[in-house]
Structure 1
Amino acid sequence: MTARWHSETNAPPPGRVVLADDRLRADTAHRLVSQGAAVLWQGDYHGARQLLAALARRAEREERPPRTADSTTPGEAFREQRRERARTAGLLGRLVVRLEADHALLLPRAPDVRQACREAYGPSDGPRLVALRELLGVLGAWQWHQRGVYVPALGARVHPCYGVFSPVRGEYVDLVARAPMPAAVLAGGTVFDLGTGTGVLAAVLARRGAGRVLVTDVNPRALLCARDNARRLGLAHRIRAAGTDLYPPGDGRAGLVVCNPPWLPAEPTSVLEQGVYDSGGRMLHGFLGGLAQRLARGGEGWLILSDLAEHLGLRSRADLHAAFAAAGLRVVGRRDIRPRHPRATGATRRTGVRSIDPLRAARAAEVTSLWRLAPV
């Protein structure tokens, strides 16, 4: 029996694979994955899910307790939390299953995963081994895609795809829906939406009067997702995918350039994390550095950015203003909004990995801003 190793997080293939079924005890499985072996499950599907939950509980008990605010900085707590989560993800990613050449999962009581896997992985090139945790993410993303996320600013649902960040945090959408539009755009001008994701901001701007919205994203899946959402919303004639470079190719200008870059300057470890972490602030600085040359006369750039990085000590407000100045930009306005997600409001729930958020104070102080920028 052979199968190709597949990992969306680029995890290396295991050096050893152990066949297992419902007779395997959770403690034995934990010992095996801790030693670097992959456990290839051949038993009942629901038994595999129960084993994954048992491994998560054991990994949680092994995590070092979060240090107090007196013994560490928020930035150190953030980095330590990421290390612990990466270690836990590595352990849980070693419980694997085999997908057949048609993406079928041939385990007792397993759901039909073929359509979800085709959407996530594309055409199959043969049997593959995937982490059960990843497969559950594929299935969850497929359910999100089918159900959609209701966006009040659109009065409609947006349908995220696997590997594309879902617009579940609606406050940034509200900022774009309420900010005053530049006159050039209201007259039917062009908008650039950089890093479009699901295309939700492009749709909002098209509904607000933009004649044409060119969208870009480094993730080809996002461009397909944005195109699909534009079609669903009846906006396909006004929203066009313009490639995977940050700015659309050519030297065309826009009356409005919108960018909602990842908010934390850290290294992403998966395609999905590219919506959260911006290595070295590369996308932020790329947007700022190219803005003045790509704006039409009287145009504006809208930067949507959380200040969570500032509360974590990963970037200062002075750093941000210095970046504006270095790019030849001035601030012509700013709108702020408080996040509404559970971590910001103080609500907590168990995630299967950690129930205590050591960064709660930073999250509670978070503000999301829309910075209106123009050339000096």
Structure 2
Amino acid sequence: MTLATPTDTATRIHWREGDIEHSALWRSQSGMAAPKRVVVANDQTPADTAYRLACEGTALLWRGDFQNARQLLQALARRADAPPKGKRARAPKLPASPAEAFHLHRQAQSQRARTLAMLLIPFEADYSIALRRAPEVALACNEAYGRADEPFVASLRELLGVIGAHEWRKNGVDVPALGAGARIHPWYGVFSPIRGEYLQLVDQAPLPAGAARAFDIGTGSGVLAAILARRGLPQVVATDMDPRALSCARENLQRLQLERQVEVVQADLFPPGLADLVVCNPPWLPGRPSSAIEHAIYDPDSRMLKGFLLGVGAHLAAGGEAWLILSDLAEHLGLRTREQLLGWCADGGLALIERHDTRPVHPRASDASDPLHAARSAEITSLWRLRAR
């Protein structure tokens, strides 16, 4: 489900300590520009001061105890999430539409992320961190960044995400559709298949009669290709554009001993040839991703969705089916209409055979405090079985 290559912004960051000017490589997988203003912070820096500086766009390069830096980050998050007080306290703007509520929510989340990213950690060239009580992060950083060849500076918040992704990759995600004990191990920047409802749809929908070859478009972790192979498809071709996703999918298929059934290839949407079944789980929301992992969630101008629907007919064998796995959350948010979706199906010469629906069970679907609760509570995930007219 990942088609775009993550952005690793590599520029220089500059700061002064005492009378000495310093410079180091700046790394950001989200594409965040190197902060222009940097001050040194340590265990004596008050949280209120740190939060004010971060809100103003001044980064804090940490020189104290690593675990204290984590506690300061938590303190910054609490301040970012607290309701405004004093002169800043105003009645919240009521959005005029679900789409406006969504854009205001994304704007607030983006501002929060920028603020929390202002707490920085220095790394040595071997990924060691020369701070008291700093953890060993070389393996996690190698997985996310690749080989390092000089010291650099990165956001503590990003580092914690890198560590968390390493744990996901090490422990894996249980996927009942693949059989008892089968797990998928997502890599950093590759979408984790934790929403099981769409996996169940792919596992349970009836296969086209006599299907022998399938394509999985935008394979990401390789989970859908693995499910199709486990269902008995003798040949599956899984595509993606992101080299990290391709490597992740290959590793997962090897773990599951499915590498002989599934070929993983780099392609922009479709591989050459025809298939009896072409499956695609594109990003569900039109919008611009702001980080590596968001490429699996946001589809700029619905490029992948439209590309699949307009092009899949030319890749279907006689009697073949195209399966589109898609949530209608974008419709409830006012970001896309059902008429647009049906129009792209018609433009691609596709007719609906049947639609299989299910409701999500993730925690946000029942969280009344979520700003997008009305849309999430109405969300339905569907598998659209389509054929060429």
Q: TM-score range by the shorter chain?
A: over 0.9
Please name the residue that 2:255 is paired with.
Answer: 232
Please name the residue that 2:361 is paired with.
Answer: 340
State which of 104, 108, 130 in structure 1 corresponds to 2:132: 108
Please name the residue that 1:163 is paired with.
Answer: 189
Offset of residue 61 of structure 1 = 2.6
Q: Deviations over 1:139-183 (max 9, x none)?
A: 001011111110110121111110011001000000000001112
Show structure 2 runs of 5+ residues with no match. Answer: 1-21, 85-89
For residues 281 and 100 of structure 1, do their structure 2 counterparts lie closer, same or farther at Cα, with a shift above 3 Å needed? same
State which of 86, 91, 94 in structure 1 corresponds to 2:115: 91
AA at the equivalent of 2:375? A
Q: Deviations over 1:188-238 (max 9, x none)?
A: x22111111111100000011112211112322111111110010011111
Please name the residue that 1:243 is paired with.
Answer: 266
Please name the residue that 1:137 is paired with.
Answer: 161
Q: Deviations over 1:227-255 (max 9, x none)?
A: 1100100111112221041112x3x1111
AA at the equivalent of 1:220? P
For 1:66 and 1:231, the matched residues in 2 are separated by 52
State which of 299, 313, 319 in structure 2 corresponds to 1:298: 319
Show structure 1 runs of 5+ residues with no match. Answer: 349-355
- The residue matched to 1:241 in structure 2 has which SS? strand
- The residue matched to 2:162 in structure 1 has which SS? helix
Offset of residue 65 of structure 1 = 7.0
Are residue 359 (structure 1) and residue 385 (structure 2) matched?
A: no
Please name the residue that 2:279 is paired with.
Answer: 258
AA at the equivalent of 2:247? L
Larger proportion of strand: 2
- The residue matched to 1:287 in structure 2 has which SS? helix
For 2:377 and 2:243, the matched residues in 1 are separated by 34
Offset of residue 94 of structure 1 = 1.0
Offset of residue 125 of structure 1 = 2.5
Offset of residue 100 of structure 1 = 1.1
Are residue 118 (structure 1) and residue 142 (structure 2) matched?
A: yes
Task: Report the more deviating stretch, 107-116 or 237-246.
Answer: 237-246
- The residue matched to 1:321 in structure 2 has which SS? helix
Structure 1 runs of 4+ with >4 Å offset: 62-68
Task: Report the more deviating stretch, 54-63 or 152-161.
Answer: 54-63
- Provide the aligned length of Structure 1 versus Structure 2: 361
Please name the residue that 1:372 is paired with.
Answer: 385
For residues 261 and 2 of structure 1, do their structure 2 counterparts lie closer, same or farther at Cα, with a shift above 3 Å needed? same
For 1:62 and 1:103, the matched residues in 2 are separated by 38
For 1:230 and 1:34, the matched residues in 2 are separated by 45
Offset of residue 46 of structure 1 = 1.0
AA at the equivalent of 1:371? W
AA at the equivalent of 1:79? H
Instruction: Kindly indicate whether the alpha-carbon contact (under 8 Å) linking 2:367 and 2:373 is maintained by their aligned counterparts in 1.
Output: no
Are residue 327 (structure 1) and residue 340 (structure 2) matched?
A: no
Instruction: Kindly indicate whether the alpha-carbon contact (under 8 Å) linking 2:61 and 2:122 is maintained by their aligned counterparts in 1.
Output: yes
Counterparts of residues 68-83 of structure 1 (less than 5 Å): 68=94, 71-83=95-107
For 1:9 and 1:220, the matched residues in 2 are separated by 17
AA at the equivalent of 1:174? Q
For 1:125 and 1:148, the matched residues in 2 are separated by 29
For 1:42 and 1:48, the matched residues in 2 are separated by 9
For 1:213 and 1:247, the matched residues in 2 are separated by 12
- The residue matched to 1:2 in structure 2 has which SS? strand
For 1:9 and 1:34, the matched residues in 2 are separated by 19
For 2:124 and 2:254, the matched residues in 1 are separated by 32
Offset of residue 67 of structure 1 = 4.7
- The residue matched to 1:6 in structure 2 has which SS? strand
Offset of residue 290 of structure 1 = 1.0
Offset of residue 371 of structure 1 = 0.2
Please name the residue that 1:193 is paired with.
Answer: 216
TM-score by length of 2: 0.90
- The residue matched to 1:224 in structure 2 has which SS? helix
Instruction: Kindly indicate whether the alpha-carbon contact (under 8 Å) linking 1:253 and 1:294 is maintained by their aligned counterparts in 2.
Output: yes
For 1:270 and 1:212, the matched residues in 2 are separated by 33
Offset of residue 138 of structure 1 = 0.3
Q: Deviations over 1:298-357 (max 9, x none)?
A: 11100000000111111111111111101111001110011010111x147xxxxxxx31
Offset of residue 40 of structure 1 = 0.7
- The residue matched to 2:178 in structure 1 has which SS? coil
Counterparts of residues 252-291 of structure 1 (less than 5 Å): 252-291=273-312
For 1:214 and 1:238, the matched residues in 2 are separated by 8
How high is the sequence identity, in percent, across the aligned residues?
A: 55
